[in-house]
């Protein structure tokens, strides 16, 4: 396993399944009050340059359940918000902390942070990727459907950070991945290159993508940082909605997943959201367990 978790493309299939297996074990043990102070007295710095509910809370609770401490660092209040180079921030924070989780815009900046830091760096979302979310997603699918290999994952909507990470995560787990986005909003070119020759299909037709799907994902039409494009995107993405009609072409047992926050009436209807709320909130819960696994492996050499 590499020092950092920056994107799922950096993982091998055995590494991915090791994380998922540790996550399952940590979840089971937490439910049975078996503590694992693997990161006793260790500190995770948590840098946020974008908003968060799940990532912030699940990382802070997760490190504390592992015996360590989470330190919230607002990007705008750090000197890096005033232009201190990321190379210097990395080398300074490496002297105090045992790991860093960062949520920001630029993937390149996170890669540079990891290059200069001597401690593990965990990507808590960039414009390019959301690896921790997709680890929780794969964990949730396996929990509900018992396996990942051979299942059909479908993603409907914007070719954003979630689409990029789901494609890589799904293919790494030997799932079939079908994506429907508008032509001008396809997943990142590097992800399309990764997917080439693998069980990946892209279409503009949401019904084609969701045909016989075992699990259907969607995400917001305008991500954090794209607020100014929200109105235009509302027009472009009309029709890219997970609703009752769409679910009719998927498997009868199909799961629906959403990383949250959800915009009911846009990418998903309120009815479908509520009908699948159990799975969606299991998915949110599993952020905690999947990230505890990532921290235990990277910061505790598990
Ligand atoms: N899904 C997710 O990352 O949620 P937050 O933005 O609340 O962290
Ligand atoms: N694509 C969304 C995911 C939020 C968890 C965003 O980047 O805002």
pLDDT tens digits for 228-263? Answer: 999 999 999 999 999 999 999 999 999 999 999 999
Active site residue 133: yes
pLDDT value of position 178: 99
Q: Give 284 Cα–ligand 1 centroid separation in angstroms.
A: 9
Active site residue 54: no
pLDDT value of position 283: 98
- Stretches in the chain below the pLDDT threshold 70: none
pLDDT value of position 62: 98
- Which atom of ligand 2 is closest in space to residue 259's alpha carbon? 5
Write phi, then psi, for 293 (nearest 5 degrees): -65, -45
Active site residue 82: no
Residues lining ligand 2, Cβ inside 6 A: 125, 160-162, 219-220, 223-224, 259
- Which atom of ligand 1 is closest in space to residue 124's alpha carbon? 3
**Number of C-beta neighbours around residue 156 at 10 A:** 27
2, 107 in Cβ contact below 8 A? Answer: no
- Which atom of ligand 2 is closest in space to residue 52's alpha carbon? 5
E-strand stretches of the chain:
43-48, 69-74, 99-103, 121-123, 152-156, 176-180, 200-203, 215-218, 255-258
pTM (2 decimals)? 0.98
Q: Give 287 Cα–ligand 2 centroid separation in angstroms.
A: 14
Q: Give 146 Cα–ligand 1 centroid separation in angstroms.
A: 25
Q: Give 297 Cα–ligand 2 centroid separation in angstroms.
A: 25
pLDDT value of position 250: 98
């Amino acid at each position: 396993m590499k020092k950092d978790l920056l994107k799922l493309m950096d993982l091998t299939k055995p590494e991915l399944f090791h994380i998922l297996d540790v996550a399952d074990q940590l979840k089971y043990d937490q439910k049975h009050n078996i503590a694992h102070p693997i990161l006793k007295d260790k500190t995770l710095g948590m840098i946020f340059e974008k908003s968060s509910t799940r990532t912030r809370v699940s990382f802070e609770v997760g490190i504390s359940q592992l015996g360590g401490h989470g330190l919230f660092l607002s990007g705008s209040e750090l000197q890096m918000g005033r232009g201190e180079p990321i190379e210097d921030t990395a080398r300074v924070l490496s002297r105090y902390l045992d790991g860093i989780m960062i949520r920001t815009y630029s993937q390149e900046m996170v890669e540079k942070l990891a290059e200069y830091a001597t401690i593990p760096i965990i990507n808590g979302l960039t414009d390019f990727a959301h690896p921790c979310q997709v680890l929780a997603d794969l964990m949730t699918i396996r929990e509900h459907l018992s396996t990942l290999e051979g299942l059909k994952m479908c993603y409907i909507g914007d070719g954003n950070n979630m689409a990029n990470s789901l494609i890589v995560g799904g293919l790494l787990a030997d799932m079939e991945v079908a994506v429907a986005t508008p032509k001008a909003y396809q997943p990142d070119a590097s992800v399309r290159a990764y997917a080439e020759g693998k069980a990946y299909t892209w279409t503009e037709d949401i019904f084609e993508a969701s045909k016989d799907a075992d699990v259907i994902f969607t995400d917001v039409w305008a991500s954090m940082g794209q607020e100014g494009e929200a109105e235009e995107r509302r027009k472009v993405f009309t029709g890219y909605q997970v609703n009752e009609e769409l679910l009719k072409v998927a498997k009868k047992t199909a799961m629906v997943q959403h990383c949250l926050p959800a915009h009911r009436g846009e990418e998903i209807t309120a009815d479908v959201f509520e009908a699948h709320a159990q799975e969606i909130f299991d998915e949110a819960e599993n952020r905690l367990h999947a990230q505890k696994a990532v921290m235990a492996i990277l910061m505790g050499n598990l």
